[in-house]
Structure 1
Amino acid sequence: MSKNLFQRGAVAAGAAFLAVTVFGGVAHADPGVAYIKPSQHSQAVSCVQQGLRDAGYNIDVDGKYGDATYKALTDFQSNRGLQADGIVGPKTGDRLYYDYLAKSQNVVQIEACGYLIPTTR
């Protein structure tokens, strides 16, 4: 009986954690999330592109980090006092994710990008 109660408690705790993570907006990248750089092709690049679109840049969200993404990202970085190097590290990731993507009301985007973009939190 106590084993059954323990299992129920563990399941309830796991469900509570999942609910807080999904619905509480506390998703964040793991410390080991790779920086996003030119010439990459990935879902993480799509997240960067979507963040840039949310910030007002007119670029395609195709997951390919090419010239248009580089130009938009370096402009984004420059206009926000960040190092305009075209690399999404934690500081740029914070601005893209917390200032734009997390405020989008798109739960799928918030969750997926929250684990793909490097951030300081």
Structure 2
Amino acid sequence: MGKHASLRGLAVGATALLMTVTGAATSASANPRVGNISYGMSGPGVKCVQIAVNNYYGKKMQGAFAIDMDGVFGPATLRGVKDFQGGNANLDVDGIVGPQTGNRMVDWWLGGEVEGSDKDFCSSVLPTTR
């Protein structure tokens, strides 16, 4: 094995290690701009969670429950997220909007369940594996 082959192997190994540490090597890495959304948080990501939950209630539960879309993840949003998770197969009912719950919420927009310009924005602020 020549000197160049050894250096190339070292560079490939270092790149693979860096990609693994940063998460870049996973084929379905979470939306890199967004972490999980959970109780006590606030901001536009929470508001998008509230939009998805309200649309879930309106479409699937005939408006049984609506939460304020104030961008604050409080007790009502927590209950709504758990209801959303419980009504969607294969989601952990933990009240945390992580990549799997985020995927399902984004599906509401991509499936035409929610109209308007919020679709693209919310797709960018919810944690997903897409």
TM-score where L is the length of structure 1: 0.69
Aligned twin of 2:115: 105
Counterpart contact for 1:54–1:101, Cα < 8 Å: no
Q: Alignment length, in residue pairs?
A: 91
Counterpart contact for 2:54–2:66, Cα < 8 Å: yes
Aligned twin of 1:8: none
Q: CA RMSD in A?
A: 1.5
Which is greater in Rg?
2
- 1:17-28 matched pairs, under 5 angstroms: none
Aligned twin of 1:51: 52
Counterpart contact for 1:74–1:84, Cα < 8 Å: yes
Give the SS at the match of 1:38.
Answer: coil
Aligned twin of 1:80: 88
TM-score where L is the length of structure 2: 0.65
Aligned twin of 1:11: none
Percent pairwise identity: 36
Which amino acid in structure 1 is aligned with residue 71 of structure 2? Answer: G
CA distance in 2, matches of 1:72, 1:65: 10
CA distance in 1, matches of 2:70, 2:52: 13
Counterpart contact for 1:38–1:66, Cα < 8 Å: yes
CA distance in 2, matches of 1:70, 1:37: 8
1:76-107 alpha-carbon deviations (Å, 9 max, x no partner): 11121311111111110011111x2332231x
CA distance in 1, matches of 2:109, 2:38: 19
CA distance in 2, matches of 1:111, 1:58: 23
Structure 1 residue 32 displacement after superposition: 4.1
Richer in helix (by share): 1
List gaps (5 residues or longer) in structure 2: 1-29, 58-64
